[in-house]
Amino acid sequence: DMPAAPPGFPGFPNLERLDLVYVTLPFAGAGTQLEHLIVAAEKLAVLNLSPVITINGGGVDTWAIRAPKLRKLYITMDMGDDNGCRIPMPLPMLEEATISFDRLFGTQDFLDAFQNISTVNKLFFKSDKVRRQTI
């Protein structure tokens, strides 16, 4: 389980690679905490979240990957209908991405995410179940 950060924790501003493997986000706000950790790592080039499991006891804790210097993204998420993860802004330096979700989030979020990773040279995408939705 990912613990809550202590008050005033600044993150890791010099971090270039973050690997969270078999990590559970067990409390409401844990996804937001992870988002802040990623944002604080201004030099982050490689992000590996495989798998990250969201368990917050109700509702979706929406959080975002905001890392403009990211070059490689590996993300596997397991959870019901929505894991809360979004890619809301372009990742202009992204070269390689592996994205695997048990279930895909809403259609517009899906389209936005793929538009925001359009710079990739290598892409592997897997979704076991896609929730059908119209825009």
DSSP class per residue in 7-70:
TT----TT--EEEEEEEEE-STTHHHHHHHHHHH-TT--EEEEEEEEE--SSS---EE---TT-
Q: What is the pLDDT of residue 60?
A: 63
Q: What is the pLDDT of residue 58?
A: 56
Per-residue pLDDT of the chain (135 residues; tens, 9 = 90+): 889 999 999 999 999 999 999 888 888 888 889 999 999 999 999 999 988 777 665 556 788 999 999 999 998 876 444 667 888 899 999 999 998 876 555 566 677 888 999 999 999 988 765 555 444
Q: What is the pLDDT of residue 84?
A: 74
Buried b / exposed e across 100-123, counting CB within 10 Å, b at 16+?
bbbbbbeeebbebbeebbeebeee
Q: What is the pLDDT of residue 44?
A: 98
Q: Are strands 63-64 and 85-86 parallel, antiparallel or unpaired?
A: parallel
34: nearest Cα among 96, 77, 80: 77
Q: What is the pLDDT of residue 2?
A: 87
Q: What is the pLDDT of residue 57?
A: 57
